A and B are shown apart, each in its own frame.
Chain A
Amino acid sequence: KAGVTQTPRYLIKTRGQQVTLSCSPISGHRSVSWYQQTPGQGLQFLFEYFSETQRNKGNFPGRFSGRQFSNSRSEMNVSTLELGDSALYLCASSRGDETEAFFGQGTRLTVV
């Protein structure tokens, strides 16, 4: 059974640019959550999608957005990148019915 796939694994962007990250969940999983992980803050919740609907959103500025497609694949977009956006971005998939979540390997974003 394939795991959660995130692409790309690494990205280097310049301040002010925008970036799109992709996440393919485990087959049959309909919930995808996104997290930002930095050494000082740990895992910070960005948002959660279930069947193409955003059900929950963390405390991040509107520059961070996401969407989910009918095949449950999800993308997150960060516009007008700032240096502080440098982090490991993780997505997690679950069935969405109070079961455990499984993470991808993450996308490491560096903003220069």
Chain B
Amino acid sequence: QKEVEQDPGPLSVPEGAIVSLNCTYSNSAFQYFMWYRQYSRKGPELLMYTYSSGNKEDGRFTAQVDKSSKYISLFIRDSQPSDSATYLCATLPPRGNQFYFGTGTSLTVIP
């Protein structure tokens, strides 16, 4: 079983829609969670970093961690064509030094 599982999509939504991107992780000890956005032929860009459970909001983006179900989500409100990219979830175990990444979800926002 992989440490992080992510639905690869692709996901296609109309502009203005709310987007939900999801990952599950295997180890209940994981406490640090990240979401990255990667445009084609570019390096991943850090969007959100959360510790433990709960929600974190930054503009149109909300990251949510549900430790009871080992589920992490990224919500994008009022999606824009510029949000079209691949989104990667990641986790870091406590006292760990290796990040575990999902395989990425490809998102297209249609104008």
Q: With A and B bound together, what is the CA distance between A43 and B3 in angstroms?
A: 13
B2 to chain A, nearest CB (A): 10
> Inside 8 A of A103's CB, which chain B residues have their CB?
36, 43-46
Main SS of chain B's interface residues? loop
A-binding segment of B12-20, B65-73, B95-103: B95-103
Indicate with 1 or 0, residue by residue over A85-112, a CB within 8 angstroms of chain B CB atoms. 0001010100010111111111010000
B49 to chain A, nearest CB (A): 4
Q: With A and B bound together, what is the CA distance between A44 and B90 in angstroms?
A: 12
Evaluate contact between A102 and B98: CB separation under 8 angstroms: no
Take A48-B97, A55-B97 as given contacts and tell me if A100 and B88 are in contact as well, using a CB distance cutoff of 8 Å.
no
A2 to chain B, nearest CB (A): 14
A74 at the interface (CB under 8 A from B): no
Residue tally, chain A, CB below 8 Å to B:
27
Residue tally, chain B, CB below 8 Å to A:
23
Evaluate contact between A98 and B32: CB separation under 8 angstroms: yes
Evaluate contact between A42 and B104: CB separation under 8 angstroms: yes
B8 to chain A, nearest CB (A): 9
> Inside 8 A of B96's CB, which chain A residues have their CB?
98
Restricting to B41-58, which residues have a CB under 8 Å from any CB of A? Answer: 41-46, 49
Take A90-B43, A100-B49, A106-B43 as given contacts and tell me if A43 and B101 are in contact as well, using a CB distance cutoff of 8 Å.
yes
Take A42-B103, A42-B104, A98-B92 as given contacts and tell me if A104 and B43 are in contact as well, using a CB distance cutoff of 8 Å.
yes
Indicate with 1 or 0, residue by residue over A34-46, a CB within 8 angstroms of chain B CB atoms. 0100000011010
Q: Residues on A close to B: CB < 8 A? A: 4, 6, 31, 33, 35, 42-43, 45, 48, 50, 55-56, 58, 88, 90, 92, 96, 98-106, 108
Q: Residues on B close to A: CB < 8 A? A: 32, 34, 36, 41-46, 49, 88, 90, 92, 94-99, 101-104
